[in-house]
Amino acid sequence: MPSIAQPNDNLSPSPTDAQATTYDQLVPMLEAAHHEMTELSKKKQDGVVNSLKIKMLNRLLGELDKVIEKDPSHAFIDMLDEETLPQNSDAVLILSQWRAALKQYKDRHHGYDSSRGEHRWFTVEDPLGS
């Protein structure tokens, strides 16, 4: 049975169309990065993530941060620390937290619209019931 999005609770304002587009473009990149870091962590858990990877990941996370900055889960996510250079396993944990926060965000704002017969984002410009 398709999921049905619930009307927005006031804890997490609806995204804009631009935020929904950014989400859809960048989450697959985050998934790929998480997969790569997980594989790297399996080989060398205590290896240090190099600064180039940290910068690339933080650039991705920085854009996703703008999407969920007003969501309650935002308080529990972090960027990767460029100064201390985290271990591979720490990076996997941080990326996992991002994945969970982004999934919760999508669960709040994306779902089945029975009036249109499709799954979609419920945005500021195109809310539920419009």
Query: 36 in a domain, yes or no?
Result: yes
Per-residue pLDDT of the chain (130 residues; tens, 9 = 90+): 344 445 455 688 999 999 999 999 999 999 999 999 999 999 998 999 999 999 999 999 999 999 999 999 999 999 999 999 999 999 999 999 999 999 999 999 999 999 999 999 999 999 986 6
Q: What is the pLDDT of residue 20?
A: 98
Query: 130 in a domain, yes or no?
Result: no
Determine the structural domain holding residue 111 and report its residue range.
Answer: 17-121
Q: How many domains does the chain have?
A: 1
Query: 11 in a domain, yes or no?
Result: no
Three-class SS of the chain: CCCECCCCCCCCCCCCHHHHHHHHHHHHHHHHHHHHHHHHHHHCCCCECCHHHHHHHHHHHHHHHHHHCCCHHHHHCCCCCCCCCCEHHHHHHHHHHHHHHHHHHHHHHEEEECCCCEEEECCCCCCCCC
Q: What is the pLDDT of residue 10?
A: 67
Q: What is the pLDDT of residue 9?
A: 58
Q: What is the pLDDT of residue 128?
A: 80
Query: 108 in a domain, yes or no?
Result: yes
Cα–Cα nearest to 18, from 128, 129, 126: 126
Helix pair 88-109, 17-43: axis angle to 10 deg: 150
Query: 54 in a domain, yes or no?
Result: yes
Residue 11 corresponds to which tokens in the numbers above?
């804890």
Give the span between the Cα atoms of 75 and 77, in whole angstroms.
Answer: 6
